[in-house]
């Protein structure tokens, strides 16, 4: 369909599921319970309503995801978003990329870092960004290709073990999210307001 987006962008996109979302009025008690774990009081997304077909997993996944991406201490929020974006580029989850590239840019104010991730030109970045993107990209591949040298580069760039673990968690949880969002739906241009 003509509104489907196939190229990486940090612009806001929408997501259209391939499976029918759970209808809230018809949701089972278990589904309603799992949906309470959703992050905010905003409208429940079609993505979450599709995942509500498996309420046990949805109910456990949401707090883990939020803890990894928004938990206190350790790696900065921006750099967690950078790891998430690099993983999403590997897995070509166009919608995931748009959300997390956008968040990185709004937190770090460095659109050029995202441009380099999209182009695969991260060798031109500073040592810290380069180390983060390199590790994230290779850990996201299947099988994972990250090496001792990648971790050494992170340490030399000044990341603590806690920061490296936080980066690992963000890449890993996007190895998960990308395998839901991209196979279960597609990124589309948002309707004109």
Partner 1 sequence: MRPNVIEQLIEAPPGSPVAQALAARAPLMQASQANYDAVLTPQDPGGLSQALRFALAARVARLGGDARLAAHYAAGGALPETDAGWQDAATTAILRHVDLIATTPRDATQADIAALQAAGVTTGDIVRLSQLIAFVSYQLRLIAGLRLMGATP
Interface ranges with partner 1 (CB under 8 A): 18-20, 30, 50-51, 53-54, 56-57, 59-61, 63-64, 67-68, 71, 73-74, 90-93, 139-140, 142-144, 146-148, 150-151, 160-162, 164-169, 171-173, 175-180, 182-184, 186
Q: Are 17 and 50 in contact (CB under 8 A)?
A: yes
Of 114 and 154, which CB lies nearer to partner 1 in the complex structure?
Answer: 154
CB of 108 to partner 1, least distance (A): 22
Per residue, the 3-state secondary structure of the chain, as one string, reads: CCCECCCCCCCCCEEEECCCCCCHHHCCHHHHHHHCCCCCCCCCCHHHHHHCCCHHHHHHHHHHHHHHHHCCCCCCHHHHHHHHHHHHHHCCCHHHHHHHHHHHHHHHCCHHHHHHHHHCCHHHCCHHHHHHHHHHHHHHCCCCCCCHHHHHHHHHCCCCHHHHHHHHHHHHHHHHHHHHHHHHEEEECCCCC
CB of 182 to partner 1, least distance (A): 6
CB of 128 to partner 1, least distance (A): 17
CB of 79 to partner 1, least distance (A): 15
Of 22 and 113, which CB lies nearer to partner 1 in the complex structure?
Answer: 22
175: tokens are 């190895």
Of 33 and 111, which CB lies nearer to partner 1 in the complex structure?
Answer: 33
CB of 165 to partner 1, least distance (A): 4
Of 18 and 112, which CB lies nearer to partner 1 in the complex structure?
Answer: 18
Of 105 and 173, which CB lies nearer to partner 1 in the complex structure?
Answer: 173
């Amino acid at each position: 369909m003509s509104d489907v987006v196939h190229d990486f962008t940090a612009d806001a996109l929408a997501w259209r599921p391939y499976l029918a979302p759970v209808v809230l009025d018809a949701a089972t008690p278990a589904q309603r319970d799992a949906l309470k774990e959703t992050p905010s009081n905003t409208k429940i997304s079609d993505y979450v309503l599709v995942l509500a077909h498996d309420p046990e997993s949805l109910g456990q996944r949401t707090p883990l995801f939020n803890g990894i991406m928004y938990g206190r201490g350790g790696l900065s929020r921006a750099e967690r978003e950078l790891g998430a974006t690099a993983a999403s580029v590997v897995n070509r989850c166009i919608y995931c990329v748009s959300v997390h590239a956008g968040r990185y840019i709004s937190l770090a104010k460095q659109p050029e870092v995202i441009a380099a991730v999209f182009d695969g030109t991260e060798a031109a970045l500073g040592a810290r960004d380069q180390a983060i993107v390199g590790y994230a990209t290779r850990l996201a591949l299947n099988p994972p290709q990250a090496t001792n040298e990648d971790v050494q580069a992170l340490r030399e760039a000044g990341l603590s073990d806690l920061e490296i673990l936080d980066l690992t968690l963000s890449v890993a949880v996007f190895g998960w999210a990308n395998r839901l969002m991209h196979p279960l739906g597609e990124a589309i241009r948002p309707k004109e307001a």
